[in-house]
Structure 1
Amino acid sequence: MMGQSGATAASLNAFDALRSKALREELPGLEAAFDERQMGRHLQGALFEGDDRYIIERCDRGKAAYVPGEGCVVQYVIEVRDQACSLVRQALVSGRLFASTRASRMHFESCVTLAAAMRGRNDVAPFATRVATLEPLAMNVSLYPVDGELPTLVGATDPATVLEILRDALPGANATPFVPVQCRVDVAHYPREHHCVLRYTLEGMRSNGAEAPRVTVFGKVAGNDRGALTAVAVPALRERLHARKTRAFTVPRSLGFVAGLRLTLLEAISGVPRISRLLRERLQGGSGADGAPTLEGSIDAAACVAAGLHTSGIALGSSRPAPDELVELAQARIVLQRLSPHLGAAFHEWLEAAAAYAGGSDPWPACFSHGDFSPSQLLFSGEQCGLIDFDTVCQAEPALDLGHFLAYLRVSACKAGASASAGGREATERLCARFLDAYMVECGHGPGAREALRVRVQLYEMVSLLRLAFHSWRKFKPARLELAVGLIRGRIAEWQ
């Protein structure tokens, strides 16, 4: 039997992917990639090629993610000083680690053309090169917006290109035509992989020459054509909501999908995520924010949004049945068993328990679902609630969205310290029960249906927690992984 110190070490290694000996062996440059000082020196030599006019004064490591079978993506924010005029500017650099120098060279070639397309753009003017290979680390680095996984990001960040696109898209979307004359492009959200969300701020005028306020449009660039579904699903949902007399929620207006750039365009809607903040204030004994909504009101609103989606009758999106979700988790288990055996063994047990639980109830008919329904996707402006991010819409059991929401609500509660006291745990359970009760009332479910749905919700909540645990590990977030593991153990204990 493993001694206490050995068990503790194994547990630490399980929670922190950076401690994985197998992962460090697979990616020899991993340790250096997480050393900010060392990476600052590497980037200085690679991006400026000996030009001492520009000095990297600061290099901060940002998001990172291990991608099974592909390598590891690491982002850096650098501050560069122009010694000729003392001007300091920031730049975002993406690094991709590979198992070998040969693999990194193949990826490098795919980025060279993208880097060439950046010539003449002011945002990369000081840099001698926009993409480089760090051979000692088997690592490629590229300046934003050069991204080999998102090849159309270069075009989608070009103000002149986007301005022409939005000149065609905006007039038909507004009652009083707005003519944009200037476009500013900012990063709204650039995760480690799969997509990038851009914020376009437009200056312009009315078609009659009158002044007009700024217009904000969000653009999401993906590595595939999934945005085409969003461009169809969002108008369909807006149409269904407009025809209803029940409590409505706000959905952004779609400005279309630009296939050549794999760019989905949506008008901005007002509001900010509030559920997690209100929950934190409640659990930490604060008085709570003034005005609307209250925490209970925001939970009720979330339930109404979910009910509105699920009863919309929209038949768009691919199918996501429970067996497919479990198969995806089985692939995650294989990765963990190879790279983090201690966590992989536990994950195997949890997945077996989830599969057994799934076999004890019948699936519900699939309906139009969000696919990533969580508190952060709900924006509140006064009493009005809005829903965003539609690139994961699908056909699934209602429990997929409901379980996902509850999983992330519990994680938010744990972050706020709910698990540290009986009162905090009870308050969290009341909110979770309130969400499900409000949803069932909104959908008109009777007692029998309510109990059957609760069983399926518990299954999908576990699925979301298991997925969160795996993603937390591969994104080098040991603290969040520890929260997820605690919730998984607690939920499974309730099944027994």
Structure 2
Amino acid sequence: MTTTTNTSWPTPVGVAALLDDVLHTDPAHPRPALRYLRRKPGRGLVAVYGDAREEMYTVTVDETAAAGHQAAAGHQAAAPGHEKATTGRVSAVSVTADPTYLADADGSVVHIDRLGVTIQRFPHDERLPGLEAAVHPVPGDPVWTALAAVLSADGSEEVELRAVSAVPLRYKPGDRCVLRYRLEGQGSAGGRVTGSVIGKLYRTVEQAHDATTLAERLWSLQGDRPWAPRPLGSVDPLPLVLTEDLGSASDTPPTVMGTEVVRMGAVSAHAAVEAAAAALADLHLGGTAQPETPQRTGAQEAVKAVNRAATIGRYVPELADRAAALGRAVGAALESSTPQGFRPSHGSYKPSQLLHRDGAVLLVDFDQFCLADPALDLGYFLAYLRPPGLWYHRAGTRAWFEDAAATFLTGYASAARARGMGQDELDGALRRSHVYEAALLLKIAARRPNRLHSARPGEVRALLEEVAACLDEGAAVDKASAGRQG
């Protein structure tokens, strides 16, 4: 197959065209659907096609190509007898010389050096070298041994692990992968024993050990109302961490993602928001941080806000001046913020990082755990609480958001006071939450062009209006507070 489209890196069309060339896509065997697309500074472009339960391919474009060196993505050079690719464990071959080599375990990676492109078939990942062993454990290896111990953990009988299936839940190529392991074994009494466990694979063993230590500390502080999964240890020498499986939507009672319940139209949305606020207060007042826990300061967040505003300006030039002005204003407000002290913080607290089960909230993904102004987590949640229809001024979205935001802040204030936070510290965190909310809205606005989606000027303009409104709200709260103190 010869692709005749002429375009430049990086574009979704160009990436898809190259994958078509490599896979020999035809109407009878269409290219897998695009699942993930993002470009990050220093990391280039990453696109993921397909489903790991069937077939999944990762296409990466290195930073040199993604930075605009205009390598043609027309791929006439990818026609038979032209462009050469180097495959893992396979000598140089024409990209389209063998229509089956990507399906072969010995040909799971293709390098096209001229274009700065690497194509890999899951679970092969050159930047995440433990992935294949984590996805396909075999009897006697460290992963299999650790999973067998989990299945026998209750001690009621000896259990022989007979079968393991690993289903990817979240995968960030070259970074990490979350897997659900389904386990099946036979007990010493002859009965069938089943179970499941969650595994999270990191790039390094140090990351895995740090994650395990934090998970154990969080678990030890929860008492009789758990709000984080129980840690089950790490799997040396792989950078793999095991935790309890908190369940899925098919279980009884069902466990669902926060985005399924903390949303406009959900019957129990406000109850879920209240529960999220109480769980956040538990974390902030839990004393879970250690001296080596990284800090996130207002000054650091200020730099991010200015950079995000610049990103918006590059992709939506007509809004560059407005974005830059708001970025400077947010940055100045963050730099001048003075919390009474830093609290243990999630660092990425939003509905998608929560699980809801039987009225309880469970927090996941503590990879951004830090010491920070409590306002960081508050602002994070508020920014991501907005329904997408708000950017298009759809009926009812504004009223729903304002009601839900008030529920969240009121619920947090009540829970934080009950757990011992002083009123002055609480009032300050609530005031500053609007500034952090503005900063995170800039992140949301800048994220779309980073993922190479359409810039959608109208949507970005609406987001910038929200940023300005948050700054106004913060200033109004500050003024009212100063008046009360005077």
Give the TM-score normalised by the residue count of structure 2.
0.76
**For residues 79-98 of structure 1, what are the structure 2 equivalents within 5 Å?**
90-98=54-62
**For residues 379-390 of structure 1, what are the structure 2 equivalents within 5 Å?**
379-390=355-366
Q: Which has the higher contact order (CA 8 A, sep 6+)?
A: 1
Contact 1:473 1:481 in 2 (8 A): no
- Per the alignment, residue 41 of structure 1 pairs with 21
Residue in structure 1 matching 2:438, options 433, 458, 462: 462
Measured at CA, do residues 274 and 153 of structure 1 come closer, stay the same or move farther in structure 2, by a change above 3 Å?
closer
Residue in structure 2 matching 1:495, options 468, 471, 480: 471
Contact 1:407 1:464 in 2 (8 A): yes
| Cα deviation, residue 175, structure 1 | 6.9
Work out the CA distance in 2 between the residues paired with 1:448 and 1:32. Answer: 50
| Cα deviation, residue 329, structure 1 | 3.8
1:183 is aligned to 2:153:
no
Contact 1:36 1:59 in 2 (8 A): no
Contact 1:418 1:424 in 2 (8 A): no
1:142 is aligned to 2:120:
yes
- Per the alignment, residue 412 of structure 2 pairs with 439
Contact 1:373 1:401 in 2 (8 A): yes
Work out the CA distance in 2 between the residues paired with 1:480 and 1:385. Answer: 34
Work out the CA distance in 2 between the residues paired with 1:433 and 1:129. Answer: 55
**For residues 185-334 of structure 1, what are the structure 2 equivalents within 5 Å?**
185-191=166-172, 194-206=175-187, 208-212=189-193, 214-224=194-204, 225-242=206-223, 248-270=225-247, 271-273=254-256, 275-278=258-261, 280-282=263-265, 288-289=266-267, 294-316=268-290, 317-332=293-308
Contact 1:469 1:481 in 2 (8 A): no
Q: Deviations over 1:365-396 (max 9, x none)?
A: 11111111111222222223222212221111
Work out the CA distance in 1 between the residues paired with 2:257 and 2:32. Answer: 32
Measured at CA, do residues 484 and 449 of structure 1 come closer, stay the same or move farther in structure 2, by a change above 3 Å?
farther
Contact 1:472 1:481 in 2 (8 A): no
| Cα deviation, residue 35, structure 1 | 5.9
Aligned identity (percent) is 26
* Secondary structure of the corresponding residue to residue 457 of structure 1: helix
Work out the CA distance in 1 between the residues paired with 2:440 and 2:188. Answer: 48
Work out the CA distance in 1 between the residues paired with 2:179 and 2:245. Answer: 11
* Secondary structure of the corresponding residue to residue 192 of structure 2: coil
Measured at CA, do residues 233 and 93 of structure 1 come closer, stay the same or move farther in structure 2, by a change above 3 Å?
same
Work out the CA distance in 1 between the residues paired with 2:365 and 2:456. Answer: 23
Work out the CA distance in 2 between the residues paired with 1:218 and 1:430. Answer: 35
Work out the CA distance in 1 between the residues paired with 2:445 and 2:42. Answer: 19
* Secondary structure of the corresponding residue to residue 407 of structure 2: helix
Work out the CA distance in 2 between the residues paired with 1:127 and 1:211. Answer: 32
Unaligned runs of 5+ in 1: 1-24, 46-51, 80-88, 116-122, 283-287
Residue in structure 2 matching 1:425, options 369, 391, 398: 398
Measured at CA, do residues 342 and 281 of structure 1 come closer, stay the same or move farther in structure 2, by a change above 3 Å?
closer
| Cα deviation, residue 472, structure 1 | 2.4
Work out the CA distance in 1 between the residues paired with 2:315 and 2:462. Answer: 21
Contact 1:468 1:484 in 2 (8 A): no
Query: What RMSD, in angstroms, separates the aligned Cα atoms of the two structures?
Result: 3.7
1:146 partner amino acid:
H
Work out the CA distance in 1 between the residues paired with 2:342 and 2:112. Answer: 48
Residue in structure 2 matching 1:355, options 309, 312, 331: 331
Contact 2:35 2:49 in 1 (8 A): yes
Q: Deviations over 1:179-234 (max 9, x none)?
A: 4321111211113552211221111134554332x212121122243332221122
Measured at CA, do residues 361 and 60 of structure 1 come closer, stay the same or move farther in structure 2, by a change above 3 Å?
closer
- Structure 1, 465-474 or 161-170: larger mean CA deviation: 161-170
How many residues matched?
A: 426
Work out the CA distance in 2 between the residues paired with 1:461 and 1:451. Answer: 16
Work out the CA distance in 2 between the residues paired with 1:149 and 1:401. Answer: 30
| Cα deviation, residue 62, structure 1 | 2.8
Residue in structure 1 matching 2:373, options 381, 391, 397: 397
Q: Which has the higher helix share?
A: 1
- Per the alignment, residue 153 of structure 1 pairs with 131
Residue in structure 1 matching 2:452, options 460, 476, 480: 476
